[in-house]
Amino acid sequence: MTIFYADVSHHDWNRRGGQLDWPAVRAATSPVVCIRTTYGDPAGWNRPSYHFLDMASAARAAGFTVIGGYHNLITGDAASMRRQVDWLRRQLDSVPGGAEWAMADVERYPELMSSGMYPRWADVLRFQDAWYAADERVMAWYLPQWVWSRTDMSPASPDLSRLLGPLVASRYPTTVDGGPSTVYQAAGGDSGPGWASYGGKRPDIWQFASSVNVSGASGNTDVNAYRGTLAQLTALLTQGEDMTVTDDDARKIAAAVLGYTDAGAKSFHDQFFGELVPAAKVAAGYGPTLTELLSKIDGLTRAVTALAEGGSSIDTAAVITAVNDRAAEDAARDSAQAQRIADLETTVTVLRARLADAAQAEAAALATTE
């Protein structure tokens, strides 16, 4: 099943000649929408975004239940990012009932390029830190592959797995005219090129065209696709990804740490950081600090030691408890947030050392029993 939702701004308002027909938009897509909210730094370089509250309020009255607002990101220091975040949050909170989610638009508009205000990768990370230090709503990332691969991203092709939220890809492979379903199928549908992974992250959402005929909006509307149900899309945008640690995950951890042959070809580092750190991110409120990760590593080390002392039996419950054990909520918002990326690199080193200690303890225990 594929769900569609529109991405609109005051440009759609102008093309239509006034307020959108929101019941018609919902019938043509879904009760999910993303509306341009803010652009730039309110105390610095910025551009107006007209009619956000008018459109969001009318959408809510028409039965839209998952309203998002997007912010056009510009370059800036940490203080600028806090101002950009606060501006976006104030606007989102002005929507009746409050907007449910947000999106950062990382693009290269001509006015941004000519002024040098286009966002770099460091700006993306600073904005992410500022957002999750102030708000618990999911932040999606409109960061198309053509932007991601540019050398002026500084660096080109950065690691998108650092983004704590859904990735929205943008690729328009067709000029077919029609409604959302017609254009989506012409673009390749559920097997289309917009679903290809890049930067170590698979797109969760694909903006497959910018000229879709959406009843109630216009014949030049941006439309996005999600492969799944409306309930799943709602959960993705309001709760984050489903990153529950299962028994199978726990067995992989224990098997990799203890060196069992059924651990598979992946190293423990790959398994933990590739498969289970996302669970830690959710448990930590979308932003694990060094303190929290060290706490989880401590718990995991204790569980591994207990397993080694107890023989070859894998106590999956103990491992699950160790991985899912979250630190106090205030630790999730401490000063280490701003240093998360550097902290994660440090954590890799710490983890390797602690795993080596656990392996030595296991070897010693086995030698004693022999």
Residue 298 pLDDT: 58
Overall average pLDDT of the 252-281 stretch: 45
**DSSP per-residue string spanning 226-248:** EES-HHHHHHHHHH-------HH
CB 129, CB 333: distance < 8 Å = no
Secondary structure letter of residue 358 according to DSSP: H
pLDDT digits (tens, 9 = 90+) for 79-125: 999 999 999 999 999 999 999 999 999 999 999 999 999 999 999 99
End-to-end Cα distance, the chain? 57
pLDDT over 60 at 320, yes or no: no
The confidence score (pLDDT) of residue 116 equals 96
Averaged pLDDT, 346-353: 67
Q: Are 292 and 314 in contact (CB under 8 A)?
A: no
**Amino acid 239: pLDDT:** 87
pLDDT of residue 364: 72
Distances (CA, A) of 102 to 146, 298, 347: 22, 34, 29
129 contacts 121 by C-beta, under 8 angstroms: no
Q: Rounded to 5 degrees, what are φ and ψ at 12? A: -65, -40
* Res 341: pLDDT: 54
CA 265 to chain centre: 28
**Higher-pLDDT residue of 297, 254:** 297
Query: Measured over all CA atoms, what is the biggest interatomic distance in the chain, rounded to whole angstroms?
Result: 83
pLDDT (tens digit, 9 = 90+) per residue, 274-319?
A: 444 444 444 444 444 445 555 555 555 555 555 555 544 445 555 5
| Cβ contacts of 318 within 8 Å, gap of 6 or more | 303, 306, 307
Helix then strand then coil, in percent of the chain rounded to 5, is: 50, 15, 35
What is the Cα–Cα distance from 366 to 289, expressed in whole angstroms?
A: 35
Give the model confidence (pLDDT) of 29-71 as tens digits.
999 999 999 999 999 999 999 999 999 999 999 999 999 999 9
Which amino acid, one-letter code, is at 133? A
Mean pLDDT for the chain overall: 80
Alpha helices in the chain (DSSP H): 10-16, 22-28, 52-61, 78-93, 110-115, 121-134, 145-148, 180-186, 230-239, 247-258, 268-271, 277-283, 290-310, 316-324, 340-369
* Domains recognised in the chain with CATH numbers: 2-239 (3.20.20.80), 247-369 (no CATH)
At residue 328, the pLDDT reads 44
- Please tell me the distance from the alpha carbon of residue 169 to that of residue 138, in angstroms, as a whole number: 17
Distance between CA atoms of 358 and 354, rounded to whole angstroms?
Answer: 6
Closest by CA position to 142, among listed 256, 231, 55, 222? 222
pTM: 0.68
